[in-house]
Chains A and B, each alone.
Chain A
């Protein structure tokens, strides 16, 4: 059933590298080759060059070094739109999508339904071909969308304020660590980091904070440890306590004690969330979180092989000036009309340069808009329905899988839409077997947790039908019967 992966050279007409052609400058500047996406006629060019006071296009580049000027790039010639689309369709068809396969893969990116309204708004080129709203008189569409995004994320997380977004969940978490570090002016250097935070996020934090000489504790605990096991690690040198909720293994824990312990030592407490889960679960504000981050991809954003996604970042009012990232604020224009502008710019790099706490320059604009439209459309009842649908399907799947001999699911800890299955064989093997039957089984935890080679992280969303779940269980039963 599985498609043969074709040779890239069969696929691409633009195969790289192409033969080296001898350079002919006249040919290089020949009009026929220069008109793709440029509207100039020869008459335009002649008139413009004359106004500038030079004879030829090449004369515009007199101040460049001769060595290396007009390199003969080993690249193919251009192709038409029809040819390009044909080629891209072919390349994309080589990939196997969760629409062709049955997928239970999550671990930070989730296959959710994207309502038609979302893309129909994203395709409005008034939104997607605009840039950062530097001129608010002609950018109220973008600014109001950001203001509504901030409002929706604040309402969803239960926090006072949200910024206009970061690149993704990983960088949002890294910015939380960065904010905590700066909040204590570099005087507190310990970060208590749960190893049930997505491993890719933890790796990103390490990269971001390399220059800051921080001590990270908590990552070497047993993966089975819960948040309360982190309490004894918190001390007066702790800047931040960081956990995920539901955690990377899908588990839901009460974070009250951990939060109290962090605050008792005056450390900040940061919680990373899955936004869909908050349609059902208590928001992190109920655990008195100081910072809430999240991966916004489940909110109407295609998986798109890992990006672009959306970094959610919300905090309490007293920390708003410590928070990095764009912010839209409400004000009035000269006629007294309500509108929005980018505000608190003085925190940002273009004013503070090296004094800024972060170098972030933009937000995820269009992706934040996608989540804004998504949350507006689903609203209260839609998100509640969706969260419950995910919960019920995941629990059905967990129950069914645990009927297969040798497959065990932790019966104690509540979970949302993702859970760990202990397998009778290495998870890698189970996955290979499932893939041979067109199923993306789940995430092999052994890839990042050496002690977890038999553990498979399985995600179930509204996209998985009962028939799909039953099919996976059937395939498991065939292979792993008593």
Chain B
């Protein structure tokens, strides 16, 4: 099934694209700076198209099958979003155009800030962060800036629950904070006693994911936020799991001070094989002046005769810029399209059905797949893939076997507090038939694990490739190809 690389398809003097001949006189080239050799491939258009079409077909994607990858919210990506982002008035505007020539774009961004604020309960939103992890970094920098602005510079301790996504401690460390890990209690909630023990005058804050990475709504969330506030700390909310809460509960209500959204998870913008995402950050009004610059503001409301006016402003004590320009505007357009289509009740429908679907699979498989914290789950749940009577089988083997059934495997080995974790998030866009087929496959695999484990150990057999040698990849470290040395030599 191996496809040639674009470099292997190259032949000297082939051309893929021509540009018009210059319509201006030729200038003298800067001879001291000219490049001698440009070793790029030479492939005609038809071959380029075939090459990328062929390799695309080696992918599993939401559009060709179920993709219950926990914590990633692989829901259906509506096609209208793609059309919207490609409208010329959005796709071709320059970020530094005078604001009076881009009032539509600024208005759309302002409206998106308002929608996200209303959904989450936060008073102000910046659309600048490029992804979830980038939103986390932004949020943690806001927390630091808040303490610093009060001269409270000794607050350098950030608490991170042991169930947290690895980006949480990494984002805090990047901001120069010291990380202290918190254990969870028997119900999978934040352990309030452990939290209280860490609450002192060096506390900068806590990073909380709610629903947490076990897919459980943290029953101690309000108390935990209160405790942190009582000791002068702030609460960061990781909004990765917001798909469970639209129209159901506003994170700001529980006492979270700053939170990022993942437009590529909750708001249906495509994951693009790993990006681009978008990670807007919402904050309480006390933190609004620290938001990254710029934010979009309506500087004049307008009336019957005069238009409203939107501008890009720098918040007073802004942490500064976290990237160039104003965020992933193209992604924001897609998310806005999704939100206005759904409206208030549609948003609620998303989350109720996401939670319904997850609980349904959990109910169907829980007698065979051990659920370490057995409660009603939110939009996802985690099982422990360990059976005493199938000692050689690991979560990875179950995952690879699921591929044979045409399903993308769940997230493996995360969260770290569950051994052999399989994290399953079906999302709301899947039918009961799909959920049943997936549950049936899981049950059959459990049976095979005990009676014929080789089927799992040899899986996948119904995929374009077998398992890969990851050790070899890290050892050989072949990270690129190039044109051969004798390329073009006859």
Q: CA of A88 to CA of B175 in the docked complex: distance in angstroms?
A: 38
Is B408 within 8 A of A97, CB to CB?
no
* Given known A-B contacts A5-B307, A329-B473, A341-B473, A204 and B478 have beta carbons under 8 A apart: no
Contact with B along A78-119 (1 / 0, CB 8 A): 111100110111011111111101010101110101010101
Is B39 within 8 A of A73, CB to CB?
no
Interface size on B, residues (CB 8 A): 213
Question: What chain A residues lie within 8 Å of B464 (beta carbons)?
Answer: 137-138, 140
- Interface 9-residue window, one of A55-63, A220-228, A234-242, A474-482: A55-63
Is B104 within 8 A of A125, CB to CB?
no
Question: What chain B residues lie within 8 Å of A22 (beta carbons)?
Answer: none
Is A115 within 8 A of B108, CB to CB?
no
Question: What chain A residues lie within 8 Å of B144 (beta carbons)?
Answer: 210-211
In angstroms, how far is the closest chain B Cβ from the Cβ of A12?
Answer: 7
Closest to B245 in A: A64
Question: What chain A residues lie within 8 Å of B476 (beta carbons)?
Answer: 329-331
Is A73 within 8 A of B247, CB to CB?
yes
Contact with A along B313-333 (1 / 0, CB 8 A): 000000111111111111101
Contact residue among B18, B88, B323 (Cβ-Cβ distance under 8 Å from A171): B323
* A44 sits at the interface (CB 8 A): yes
* B392 sits at the interface (CB 8 A): no
Question: What chain A residues lie within 8 Å of B330 (beta carbons)?
Answer: 302, 304-305, 307-308
Is A63 within 8 A of B409, CB to CB?
no
Is B59 within 8 A of A141, CB to CB?
yes
Q: CA of A137 to CA of B468 in the docked complex: distance in angstroms?
A: 7
Contact residue among A34, A38, A77, A140 (Cβ-Cβ distance under 8 Å from B465): A140
Is B408 within 8 A of A135, CB to CB?
yes
Question: What chain B residues lie within 8 Å of A274 (beta carbons)?
Answer: none
- Interface 9-residue window, one of B26-34, B226-234, B281-289, B445-453: B26-34
Is B1 within 8 A of A337, CB to CB?
yes
Q: Which of A81, A200, A379 has the most CB of B within 10 A?
A: A379
* B152 sits at the interface (CB 8 A): no
Q: Which of B59, B89, B356 has the most CB of A within 10 A?
A: B59
Is A382 within 8 A of B408, CB to CB?
no
* A350 sits at the interface (CB 8 A): yes
Closest to B435 in A: A48
Is A126 within 8 A of B57, CB to CB?
yes
* B350 sits at the interface (CB 8 A): yes
Inter-chain residue pair count (beta carbon < 8 A): 739
* A261 sits at the interface (CB 8 A): no
Question: What chain A residues lie within 8 Å of B95 (beta carbons)?
Answer: 108-109, 303, 305-307
Q: CA of A164 to CA of B355 in the docked complex: distance in angstroms?
A: 34
* Given known A-B contacts A93-B104, A156-B40, A211-B177, A40 and B6 have beta carbons under 8 A apart: no
- Interface 9-residue window, one of B111-119, B192-200, B382-390: B111-119
Is A141 within 8 A of B480, CB to CB?
no
* B490 sits at the interface (CB 8 A): no
* A233 sits at the interface (CB 8 A): no
Question: What chain B residues lie within 8 Å of A78 (beta carbons)?
Answer: 340-346
Chain A residues 342-364 with CB under 8 Å of chain B are 343-344, 348-356, 358-364
* B151 sits at the interface (CB 8 A): no
Q: CA of A9 to CA of B306 in the docked complex: distance in angstroms?
A: 10
Is A443 within 8 A of B167, CB to CB?
no
In angstroms, how far is the closest chain B Cβ from the Cβ of A244?
Answer: 13
* Given known A-B contacts A37-B78, A367-B275, A127 and B104 have beta carbons under 8 A apart: no
Question: What chain B residues lie within 8 Å of A89 (beta carbons)?
Answer: 87, 89
Question: What chain A residues lie within 8 Å of B126 (beta carbons)?
Answer: none
* B14 sits at the interface (CB 8 A): yes
Q: Which of A30, A171, A328 has the most CB of B within 10 A?
A: A171
Is B131 within 8 A of A167, CB to CB?
yes
Chain B residues 272-304 with CB under 8 Å of chain A are 272-278, 292, 298, 302-304
Given contacts A332-B468, A414-B30, 20 further A-B contacts (CB under 8 A): A35-B349, A61-B249, A75-B347, A78-B344, A125-B61, A135-B403, A139-B58, A139-B60, A139-B273, A160-B480, A200-B324, A212-B176, A305-B329, A350-B166, A353-B179, A362-B133, A362-B275, A365-B272, A365-B275, A376-B48
**Can you show 23 pairs from A to B with CB atoms below 8 A apart?**
A7-B307, A28-B345, A34-B352, A70-B247, A75-B344, A91-B89, A91-B105, A97-B93, A125-B270, A135-B403, A148-B6, A203-B321, A305-B102, A330-B476, A332-B472, A335-B466, A358-B170, A367-B275, A367-B276, A379-B15, A386-B19, A399-B27, A466-B24
Task: List 9 tightest A-B contacts by C-beta distance, closest first.
Answer: A211-B176, A306-B325, A92-B89, A306-B95, A78-B343, A366-B272, A34-B349, A94-B104, A308-B276
